Amino acid sequence: MKYLHNIGVYFLMIKDMFRKPTKWSVMKNLILKDIDDLIINSLGIVAFISFFVGGVVAIQTSLNISNPLIPKYLVGFATRQSIILEFAPTFISIIMAGKVGSFITSSIGTMRVTEQIDALEVMGINSLNYLVFPKLIALSLYPFAISIAMFLGILGGLVACVYGGYGSYEDYIQGVQLDFITFHIIYAFIKTLVFAFILATIPSFYGYYMRGGALEVGKASTTSFVWTSVVIILLNYLITSLLLG
Amino acid sequence: MIVVDNLHKSFGDAHILKGISTSFEKGKTNLIIGQSGSGKTVFLKCLLGLYSYEKGSISYEGKSLNDMTPNEKRDLRADIGMVFQGSALFDSMTIAENVMFPLRMFTKQSKSEMEDRVNQVLNRVNLDGAQHKMPSEASGGMQKRVAIARAIVNNPKFLFCDEPNSGLDPKTAIVIDNLIQEITDEFNITTVINSHDMNSVMEIGEKIVFLKNGHKEWEGSKDTIFKTDNEAVTNFVYSSELFKKVRKMYLEDNT
């Protein structure tokens, strides 16, 4: 029953987020700040993880090809497919649920605990629009971060493959270019945009509606991470079934 | 002037406010006092429109909150200043940005006009030179003064303060009390203070409403509170030996 109630409150929150918009001159600065906090500040960890996971995917693929009849360019092909279809959009989103999601929940939750949200409401400001909407707009640039993750993942695979002695540069590039289907990129970006919406709204929901003190802020961050991850995984299955199934 | 008539508020089965009727006059510091759990904060949040209520009415300048259109409510909000118990300053903004915030949201003033007004109110609360500090760099008393500056920057008609002295040393508490009293007189605004600080009651309580278990048990002023024989009020206000002595001296001097 509590879950159903929360789902209802979540959708009402999304509706209220678009009500009574904040002045553009103020909103503009909030969006720019959130782009910096949520996207630019995440690029380092996204780049680092993508590069090394790309390398690991290439090494694992290479080590598991023992049949001499399987061409060596398969390493590049498998790395590209893994990175574009799943690793960059989904795995990075789970990591972002931890990094960005916790940040959103704890910052909004702290504002709730310290009555800053009440202060906004007393002034007649739609606090949901003021706090959540800029995050949603900022995270609409999330596909930009995922593009970097895709590029660096494939590059990491290349570096690991060539410098680790698992295959040649030519084989890897041939694999990367083999049977390229443009729709896979579109599919990945559709997923990314859906996940961006989830990353902005579910952590905001847990921060905005939390009650209690500092301990509850920590608990809300953990709960937010768990539910953001669960919803991302479920939607990943659903979108994959609909678009590729 | 704010008029409250037969206000009822419940949370589930818990009936918190049980038919409160009172009024808060313009140009006066009105205090709501009572023990913890008496319904003071809920009452204040109902007055502010942060909580809806089941029964009764709250009127601002003769207009009931229930009858106001969304636009009228928005206009009313712009006329309200609020000082929260924990100051509720925005962590990510400097002191000047905090004070400027209501101006940025509700006025079309130029940046230099806003800066002038911010400097003016910071000067009024004796915080010259603190413009560029972050709230975390300010002491509790300074934070309260910033909160007061933010509350009055847009020339409100109504000022609400939720326990403005909590967590402050006695000397700073008196400074804050006097500041609120002076601002109320200077700008002729309706000030409503939620407090259980007896010093505030004795210093600035031009009108006092005493709540007990969600009822209005008594109302009067800092003068009549000395003379009341209402047991609930005397038990609460004169619970310390010091205030018992103060009351005894007052009664001896005035008989």
CATH number of the domain to which B48 belongs = 3.40.50.300
Number of domain units in chain A: 1
For residue A43, is it within any domain? Answer: yes
Q: What is the count of structural domains for chain B?
A: 1
pLDDT at A223: 94
Look at residue B192 and tell me if it is in a domain: yes
pLDDT of residue A70: 84
Residue B172: the pLDDT is: 79
> Residue B226: which residues within 8 A CB-CB, separation 6 or more?
B247, B250, B251, B254
B77·A124 Cβ contact <8 A: yes
pLDDT at B152: 87
Q: Can you tell me the distance from the alpha carbon of A144 to that of B200, in angstroms, rounded to the nearest whole number?
A: 57
By the 8 A CB rule, do B193 and B32 touch?
A: yes
pLDDT for residue B181 is more than 80: yes
Q: Please give the residue of chain A at the shortest CA–CA distance from B90.
A: A116
**What tens digit of pLDDT does each residue of A81-134 get?**
999 999 999 999 999 999 999 999 999 999 999 989 999 988 888 999 999 999
pLDDT of residue A33: 95
Distance of CA A241 to the CA centre of its chain: 20
Domain of residue B54 covers 2-79+156-253
Q: What is the pLDDT of residue B144?
A: 87
Task: Answer yes or no: do A125 and B105 touch at CB < 8 A.
Answer: yes
Within 8 A of B136 by CB-CB distance, chain A residues are: none
Most confident of A143-157, B73-87, B178-192: A143-157
Of B77, B85, B92, the CB nearest to A123: B77
Residue B104 lies in a domain: no
Q: Is residue A205 part of a domain?
A: yes
**Residue of chain A whose Cα is closest to the Cα of B81:** A123
- Which of the residue ranges A115-129, B163-177, B216-230 has the most confident prediction, judged by mean pLDDT? A115-129
Q: What is the pLDDT of residue B254?
A: 74
Query: A125 CA to chain B: closest CA distance, Å?
Result: 8
Report yes or no on B88 lying in a domain: no
Those residues of chain A that have pLDDT short of 50 are none
Domain that holds residue A75: 22-243
- Measured in angstroms, the CA of A25 and the nearest CA of chain B are apart by 8
Report yes or no on B21 lying in a domain.
Answer: yes
Sequence-distant (≥ 6) Cβ neighbours of residue A15 within 8 angstroms: none
User: What's the confidence (pLDDT) of residue B142?
Assistant: 87
For chain B, which residues lie within 8 Å of any Cβ of chain A, measuring from their own Cβ? 48, 50, 73-74, 76-78, 80, 82, 84-86, 88-92, 101-102, 104-106, 160
- Residue A152 within a domain: yes
B177, B193 Cβ separation under 8 angstroms = no
Residue B68 makes CB contacts below 8 A (sequence gap 6+) with B76
More confident residue, B59 or B199: B59
With respect to residue B16, please indicate whether it lies within any of the assigned structural domains. yes
- How high is the pLDDT of residue B167? 77
A2, part of any domain: no
Quick check: B65 pLDDT over 80?
yes
Chain A residues touching residue B48 (CB < 8 angstroms): 122
